[in-house]
Amino acid sequence: MRLETRRQRERRIRNARRRTVVGLVSTIGVIAVFVIILISGKIRLDNKSREYNAALSTLEQEMEVQRQRTEKLQEKKEYTKTREYTEDVAKNKLGLIYPDEIIFRAED
């Protein structure tokens, strides 16, 4: 076993402290990098979320417009099955009338 001098002991302690400080600074640096990466990722996700919410809102509005259109088409489909529709088409497009009807036309 070798005895160390006072100077050697101080140097060893100083080197140990340096290694501890360098390790601590390195650890803090790595943690800081991870925090920066996480924050930038969160910002990107928030931006994407806003974009998706805007797109969702637009699609919901479009869906409502299509629902209303579907309702109107369904009503028209039901109307085309009625006698009233058949009479309208016969009178307006085909020019047909009932045998007992009289047509009055305005003079030009």
Average pLDDT over residues 3-20: 86
97 neighbors 103 (Cβ within 8 angstroms)? yes
Look at 42 and 14; give whichever has higher pLDDT: 42
Report if pTM > 0.75.
no
Q: Render 37-69 in DSSP notation, one character per residue.
A: HHHHHHHHHHHHHHHHHHHHHHHHHHHHHHHHH
Give Cα 23 distance to the centre of its chain.
Answer: 45
Predicted pLDDT at 1? 56
Q: How many CB atoms lie within 10 A of CB 42?
A: 10
Predicted pLDDT at 14? 87
At 79-102, the pLDDT tens digits run 999 999 998 998 888 888 888 888
Average pLDDT over residues 16-32: 94
